[in-house]
Amino acid sequence: MSVRLFLPLLCAVSLPALADAGHYAFGQPAPAAKAERTVEITLGDMYYEPASVQVKAGETVRFVLKNEGSLLHEFSLGDAAMHAEHQQHMLMMQQMGMIGENGIVPMDHSKMGHDMAGMDHGKMAHDDPNTVMIAPGKSAELTWTFSKATGLEFACNLPGHYQAGMVGNLEVQP
């Protein structure tokens, strides 16, 4: 596939499903200082502990995430359809060599050919506000305000991880 044809796919990698500049149907990112409570989640190889979390609509929750597994993992908030779409983007990124053992590998677009010349792409990033990647042995945080009652999931969308069971239930209660 030529770079010209691949560019729209590359640009889509950082565009979250159902989002517009960080606005999601189920809520939005928030500063950690606004959190009403903290939920600690351990990421193992192909599981989350706890595997289920309940929050309330309007609540701001700070998730403290610790990857105790031996693999790179992700914590992503969304519904099943969002995760399915995100998995396709992650598979494409893996096939392009953009995912390393510790996270996203910066790409040097200047080596991709003249079709990219003059374009300011910066570094390709996995910067959706509802998602964090966590290298083995590392920790991360994600703070979110949940806007309405709904059923969601938290999941790892790295190729094969969701299918191997790395998905948890997130119930947003009224």
32-43 pLDDT, tens digit each: 999 999 999 999
Q: How far apart are CA 36 and CA 102, in angstroms?
A: 31
Domain boundaries, the chain: 3-173
We find that the CATH architecture of domain 3-173 is: Sandwich (2.60)
Read off the pLDDT of residues 99-139 as tens digits, 9 standing for 90 and up.
888 888 876 555 444 443 443 333 345 679 999 999 999 99
- Per-residue pLDDT at 22: 54
Specify the pTM: 0.79
Per-residue buried b or exposed e for 20-35, using 16+ beta carbons within 10 Å of the residue's own CB: eeeebebbebbeeeeb
- As a whole number, mean pLDDT of residues 43-66 equals 98
- As a whole number, mean pLDDT of residues 31-57 equals 98
